């Protein structure tokens, strides 16, 4: 018998990579999608997964839709990847961010508690929860949270609810505290993809400049395809727990920019980059660097893709995509 999993956020970045991994492990995958006028399945198409997922319609802000889905599909595992995940937009849409990222998780946990208590649950927690926590060094499972955005605050609530349902009701619930992870299907608003898309446009003569905000902040960037393996492994353990997942090294936004231009064969990147205050945030998270020792020791998880390989993969994918659009 195939195992069954429900993946929320199936149309985002991580959803397709996780679905691919689950399908390779012979799962039946249900993907939660919202009701759209014009659905966008391009990330699933990119990984060749159309027709391999069974879509179920619902919304994290609508508890009854979650109850129906869980009652009808009876998944053994739920991976909650759905979120308003853009930090920069969370100040302007703080209520929506809270409803989806915080209250939505409570709805899912209640649904599991009342209708399917054997279901194992993965919550997409984030290094944004650390915020100003130990910015001089690294962050691990013992680092205190000091979130700096409505997004970070909403994720702290969801983190603790996930822990609380485990401790209160004995549910198998896990937090993956994942540091930034990227790929060719990363949303275009996030800085890495904005950079690689912008560099490719400049290289192909489609744009003259790239406008960015804070080039000083440092992130621990890894490849999304590696990180979904950690999600999967968390739900295969004997006991539920919380894990930090990252590469253990970090780079500034400026370093990412420089490297991306170099991949495209452009040495003088400063000629093309303009600092635009519109892309600076009311409160910044200056320095994130994971100490993923627990994930390595308990899950046997390790990053496979280097920073250089990630930047190259993303720039080359954007060049390829834009060249094909230009020709057709
Ligand atoms: P993403 O590309 O923004 O995908 C998020 C998905 O959530 C989208 O498909 C979106 O659906 C869906 N969604 C939003 N609101 C919803 C709602 N009300 N009901 C149902 N679905 C909804 O994010 P990602 O990069 O794949 O990240 C996956 C998860 O990991 C997120 O929870 C994020 O906060 C967390 N996380 C990400 C990173 C990272 O570096 N990528 C690091 C740590 C944690 P639409 O397609 O309809 O918009
Ligand atoms: O790419 P970002 O928007 O990602 P951020 O804020 O680190 O959040 C991402 O990673 C989190 C994990 O730590 C996830 F939980 C979250 O869902 C999301 O996936 O920004 C990265 C850095 C920031 O310091 C930002 O201020 O890049 C800086 N930056 C500079 N210029 C910019 C820009 N960010 C964006 N999005 N756009 C710019 O023009």
What CATH number should be reported for the domain holding residue 231? Answer: 3.40.50.720
Do 87 and 140 have their domain in common?
yes
Q: How far apart are CA 116 and CA 111, in angstroms?
A: 7
Do 147 and 213 have their domain in common?
no
Query: Catalytic residue positions?
Result: 126, 128, 151
**Residue 104: inside a domain:** yes
pLDDT confidence band for 154 (50 / 70 / 90): very high
For residue 283, give Cα distances in angstroms to 139, 140, 173, 201, 301: 19, 22, 31, 30, 32
Do 214 and 232 have their domain in common?
no
Ligand nearest to C-alpha 252: 2
Do 155 and 60 have their domain in common?
yes
Establish whether residue 191 lines the binding site of ligand 2, counting it when its CB lies within 6 angstroms of any ligand atom. yes
> pLDDT of 283-318, one tens digit each?
999 999 999 999 999 999 999 999 999 999 999 999
Average pLDDT, the chain: 97
Establish whether residue 60 lines the binding site of ligand 1, counting it when its CB lies within 6 angstroms of any ligand atom. yes
CATH code of residue 192: 3.90.25.10
**Residue 215: inside a domain:** yes
**Residue 296: inside a domain:** no
Do 24 and 7 have their domain in common?
yes
Q: How far apart are CA 83 and CA 100, in angstroms?
A: 6
Confidence (pLDDT) at 326: 63
Mutate to test the pocket of ligand 1, among 6, 7, 11, 14 (most ligand atoms within 8 A of CB): 14
Domain count, the chain: 2
Do 161 and 89 have their domain in common?
yes
pTM summary value: 0.98
Q: Which residues pair with 121 in a beta bridge?
A: 78, 173
Q: How far apart are CA 238 and CA 244, in angstroms?
A: 18
Do 154 and 212 have their domain in common?
no
**Residue 300: inside a domain:** no
Do 281 and 176 have their domain in common?
no
328 pLDDT more than 60 = no
Do 7 and 149 have their domain in common?
yes
Establish whether residue 87 lines the binding site of ligand 2, counting it when its CB lies within 6 angstroms of any ligand atom. yes
What distance in angstroms lies between residue 83's CA and the mean position of ligand 1's atoms? Answer: 4
- Which residue range forms the structural domain that includes residue 197? 188-220+250-288+306-327
143 pLDDT more than 60 = yes
Ligand nearest to C-alpha 158: 1
**Residue 93: inside a domain:** yes
Confidence (pLDDT) at 37: 82
Alpha helices in 187-240 (DSSP H): 191-203, 224-234
What residue owns the CA closest to ligand 1's atom 3? 85
Do 177 and 39 have their domain in common?
yes
12 pLDDT more than 80 = yes
């Amino acid at each position: 018998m195939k195992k069954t999993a429900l993946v929320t956020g199936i149309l985002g970045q991580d959803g397709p990579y996780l679905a691919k991994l689950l399908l390779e492990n012979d799962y039946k995958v249900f993907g939660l999608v919202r009701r759209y006028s014009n659905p966008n399945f391009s990330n699933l198409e990119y990984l060749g997964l159309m027709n391999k997922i069974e879509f179920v319609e619902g919304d994290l802000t609508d508890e009854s839709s979650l109850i129906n889905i869980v009652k009808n599909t009876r998944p053994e595992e739920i991976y909650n990847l759905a979120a308003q995940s853009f930090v920069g937009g969370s100040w302007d849409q703080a209520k929506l961010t809270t409803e989806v990222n915080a209250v939505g998780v409570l709805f899912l946990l209640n649904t599991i508690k009342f209708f399917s208590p054997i279901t194992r649950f993965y919550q997409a927690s984030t290094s944004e929860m650390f915020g100003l926590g130990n910015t001089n060094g690294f962050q691990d499972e013992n680092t205190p949270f000091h979130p700096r955005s409505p997004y970070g605050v909403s994720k702290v609530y969801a983190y603790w609810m996930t822990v609380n349902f485990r401790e209160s009701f004995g549910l198998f619930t896990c937090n993956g505290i994942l540091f930034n992870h990227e790929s060719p299907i990363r949303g275009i608003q996030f800085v890495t993809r904005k950079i690689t898309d912008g560099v490719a446009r400049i290289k192909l003569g489609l744009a003259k400049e790239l406008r960015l905000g804070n080039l000083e902040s440092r992130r621990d960037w890894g490849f999304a395809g590696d990180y979904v393996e950690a999600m999967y492994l968390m739900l295969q353990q004997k006991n539920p727990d919380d894990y930090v997942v990252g590469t253990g090294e970090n780079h500034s936004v400026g370093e990412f920019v420089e490297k991306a231009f170099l991949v495209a064969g452009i040495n003088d990147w400063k000629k093309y980059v303009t600092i635009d205050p519109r892309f600076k945030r009311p409160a910044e998270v200056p320095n994130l660097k994971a100490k993923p020792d627990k994930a390595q020791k308990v899950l046997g998880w390790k990053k496979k893709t280097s920073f250089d390989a990630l930047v190259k993969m993303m720039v080359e994918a954007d060049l390829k995509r834009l060249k094909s659009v230009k020709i057709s």
